[in-house]
């Protein structure tokens, strides 16, 4: 037994020496655990940053489609097209094209092809059969009113008559003051519009509705030129005159007039006033006919800065009347009048641009 114990101890001693020898061969500087970097430590500047996606290119302010403005046939629409073209080009960097056309053709094209993109003076009630389907199909939208203030049509008197007779304020007051507008024969006169215009029927029925048809003689000129001549002749001689007129119009800038209060607008009353057979006419103002800046629907989504510009771009009627008067001057052109407006009337159009273009 003693011999067995001695052998076992000798084996253990030899085994221990072998283990120690093996441990002595291990690198004492080698780490015995894997360490992670300190998250609070500063990043190594030499390390390559991870790939990041490039920032998307900003959308072009004028959109990705053709930005065309309708240049319709009457002077105010031509002036608006030229003015907006210049402002959009200078302030937004847009490449703007002008497309000629009448109102019906323009509305139809906008409703089918979404071009032109802009119609600055769209009298939508006059093309309702074209405009309404285009609205329902989401092809067009009104950005805002074309003109900023004032009634588009009514009865007027010169400012010198209004100053001398402050009691003349509305249609009912005309009965007591009718003698102010008497002709050489002592008969008061009212100058209406040409007999073949729709306003001629409305004006005659308005006289009846206000008990004035037996008081005033109605003068219905043969045409627009004769109407303007009658008004200019009376004003040049400082004679009293009561007349129908509308705006925008150059004549209202050349002279100073006061519009009479036509009373509230009543749709049913006006519908009867527009008929020659209206049995019992009742008073009403002329209809507040909507005149809008029409935009193709894509402008709102593809060129929102341009859409926002047109939402603010209502031209004051007084400004447009003055522009039309300038256009009547000998040698005047639409382009020259538009250039002058942009150069000298920043206080008007700067509000349209606002801060959108960094102004």
Cβ atoms within 10 Å, residue 157: 22
Last residue of one domain, picked from the residues 273, 307, 333: 273
pLDDT on residue 19: 36
* Domain membership of residue 102 as a residue range: 67-147+289-353
In a domain, 30, yes or no: no
162 and 227 inside one domain: yes
In a domain, 237, yes or no: yes
117 and 170 inside one domain: no
In a domain, 343, yes or no: yes
* b (16+ CB within 10 A) / e for 77-111: bbbbbbbbbbbbeebbebebeebebebeebbbbbb
Cα angle: 264, vertex 266, 268; to 5 degrees: 165
pLDDT above 70 covers a percentage of the chain that reads 82
In a domain, 97, yes or no: yes
Which residue would you say has higher pLDDT here, 340 or 46?
Answer: 340
Token code pair at residue 350? 């700067």
Tens of pLDDT, residue by residue over 21-75, are 333 344 444 444 334 445 445 555 555 555 555 555 666 789 999 999 999 999 9
Residue (of 299, 295, 236) closest to 107 by Cα position = 295
166 and 226 inside one domain: yes
In a domain, 267, yes or no: yes
pTM for the model stands at 0.76
**Measured distance between the N- and C-terminal CA atoms of the chain, rounded to whole angstroms:** 110
Pairing of strands 243-246, 291-296: unpaired
DSSP 209-256: HTT-TTT-EEE--SSHHHHHHHHHHHHHTT----EEEESS-THHHHS-
pLDDT on residue 62: 92
189 and 250 inside one domain: yes
pLDDT on residue 32: 43
159 and 269 inside one domain: yes
124 and 87 inside one domain: yes
The CATH number linked to 164 is 3.40.190.100
Last residue of one domain, picked from the residues 246, 273, 300: 273
Which distant-in-sequence residues (6+ apart) come within 8 Å of 317 by Cβ? 147, 148, 149, 150, 247, 248
> What is the Rg, in whole angstroms, of the alpha carbon atoms belonging to the chain?
40
pLDDT on residue 253: 85
Q: How many domains, the chain?
A: 2
CA-to-CA distance for 357 and 129, rounded, in angstroms?
A: 37
159 and 175 inside one domain: yes
The CATH number linked to 107 is 3.40.190.10
Tens of pLDDT, residue by residue over 93-111, are 999 999 999 999 999 999 9
In a domain, 125, yes or no: yes
102 and 202 inside one domain: no
115 and 183 inside one domain: no
334 and 349 inside one domain: yes
Pairing of strands 257-259, 153-158: antiparallel
Chain mean pLDDT for the chain: 86
162 and 255 inside one domain: yes
In a domain, 1, yes or no: no
Last residue of one domain, picked from the residues 228, 243, 273: 273
In a domain, 50, yes or no: no
166 and 141 inside one domain: no
């Amino acid at each position: 037994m003693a011999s067995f114990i001695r052998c076992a101890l000798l084996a253990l001693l030899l085994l221990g020496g072998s283990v120690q020898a093996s441990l002595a061969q291990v690198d004492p500087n080698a780490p015995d655990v894997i360490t992670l970097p300190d998250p609070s430590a500063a990043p190594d500047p030499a390390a390559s940053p991870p790939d990041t996606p490039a920032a998307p290119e900003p959308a072009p302010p004028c959109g990705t489609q053709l930005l065309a403005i309708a240049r319709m046939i009457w002077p105010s629409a031509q002036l608006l097209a030229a003015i907006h073209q210049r402002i959009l080009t200078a302030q937004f960097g847009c490449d703007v094209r002008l497309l000629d056309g009448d109102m019906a053709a323009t509305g139809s094209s906008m409703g089918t092809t979404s071009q032109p993109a802009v119609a600055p003076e769209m009298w939508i009630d006059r093309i309702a059969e074209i405009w309404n389907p285009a609205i329902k199909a989401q092809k067009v939208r009104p950005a805002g009113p074309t003109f900023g203030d004032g009634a588009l049509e009514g009865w007027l008197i010169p400012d010198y008559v209004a100053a001398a007779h402050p009691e003349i304020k509305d249609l009912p007051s005309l009965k007591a003051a009718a003698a102010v507008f008497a002709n050489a024969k002592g008969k008061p006169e009212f100058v209406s519009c040409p007999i073949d215009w729709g306003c001629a029927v409305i004006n005659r029925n308005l006289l009846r509705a206000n008990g004035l048809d037996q008081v005033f003689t109605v003068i219905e000129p043969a045409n627009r030129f004769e109407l303007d001549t009658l008004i200019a002749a009376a004003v040049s001689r400082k004679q009293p005159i009561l007349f129908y007129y509308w705006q925008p119009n150059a004549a209202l800038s050349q002279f100073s007039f006061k519009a009479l209060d036509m009373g509230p607008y009543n749709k049913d009353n006006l519908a009867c006033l527009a008929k020659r057979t209206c049995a019992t006419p009742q008073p009403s103002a002329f209809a507040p006919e909507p005149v809008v800046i029409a935009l193709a629907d894509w402008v709102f989504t593809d060129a929102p800065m341009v859409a926002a510009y047109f939402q603010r771009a209502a031209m004051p009627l007084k400004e447009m009347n003055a522009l039309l008067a300038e256009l009547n001057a000998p040698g005047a052109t639409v382009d020259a009048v538009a250039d002058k407006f942009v150069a000298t009337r920043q206080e008007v159009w700067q509000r349209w641009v606002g801060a959108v273009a960094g102004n």
